[in-house]
Amino acid sequence: MASDGGPRAWAFLRRNPVYGAACREAFGHPALEVAPFPLRIQSRADRKAFAWGLLAWEIPDGTGDNPSPFWAGAPTLDGELGTEAPPLAPLLENAGARLSGLRLADGRLILKIENRSQAAQVRLRSGLVHAGLESGVATGLVLRLAFWSGPMQAIERLQALASLARGSGRDAPHPVDRELLTVLDARLAGKSWRETAVDLYGAQRVAAEWHRESWMRARVRRRDKKARFLMEGG
């Protein structure tokens, strides 16, 4: 999964009403671990989120505060603390990136780095990380790559993480995704095919080109089919 793959998948999943209902029923109030960044503790209820490909529930409130949840199946770099690396927190802060974490039941820590509409995950072994991530402390984050999955995949993960740390993440979704999400939002809101087309193309163009056998109507229906496929786990 590319660094923007998680946020893209989340954009569709958080619109899924079945996921939303399951999340609101199971979410509760997650426990937090003391840390210089938001650090949740994986709960027993979070295990039910595995069915959706998540390590923990994420409220689909649509605020955009969390571009991506903690994914169970996302490509994740392995890391460790090391004195040869610069402090992580100020590096990310200077790039406009955000850091959050999830403590797994087995003690390991998943770090999530987000910048605009991109995100990446790093897995740390069990243990305290406070000293290594606090601003002004010399210890930083060292990444380890497993080349058994292929050197190009490892390099792609490093490049994605580097773009986040540099602050070069993308601001907006791909135009195709914007179109799919516009159709999905309209249909979930109960709008007709024609009303959905107005959201996409504008009232004037729809008035001139819309009819039962038009390309426009067929395209809107195809967009809806693909968007629902992605929303339901595609």
The residues spanned by each domain of the chain are 5-166, 175-231
Checking if the pLDDT of 151 tops 80, the result is: no
160 with 77: CB under 8 angstroms? no
User: What share of the chain has pLDDT > 70, as a percent?
Assistant: 67
Q: For the chain, give the mean pLDDT.
A: 78
* Three-class DSSP category at 89: helix
Q: Which residue has the higher pLDDT, 189 or 176?
A: 189
What average pLDDT does the segment 105-133 reach?
Answer: 74
- Residue 40, token pair as written in the block: 């949740």
Instruction: Inform me whether the pLDDT recorded for 36 exceeds 50.
Output: yes
pTM value is 0.74
Would you call 119 helix, strand, or coil by DSSP? strand
Q: Are 87 and 136 in contact (CB under 8 A)?
A: yes
199-231: pLDDT as tens digits: 999 999 999 999 989 999 999 999 999 999 999
Measured CA to CA, the distance from residue 8 to residue 162 in angstroms comes to 19
Q: What are phi and psi of 161, to 5 degrees?
A: -65, -35
Residue in 107, 138, 139 with CA at minimum distance from that of residue 123? 107
- Band of the pLDDT at 103, cuts 50, 70, 90? very high
Q: What is the pLDDT of residue 177?
A: 84
Between 148 and 21, name the one with better pLDDT.
21
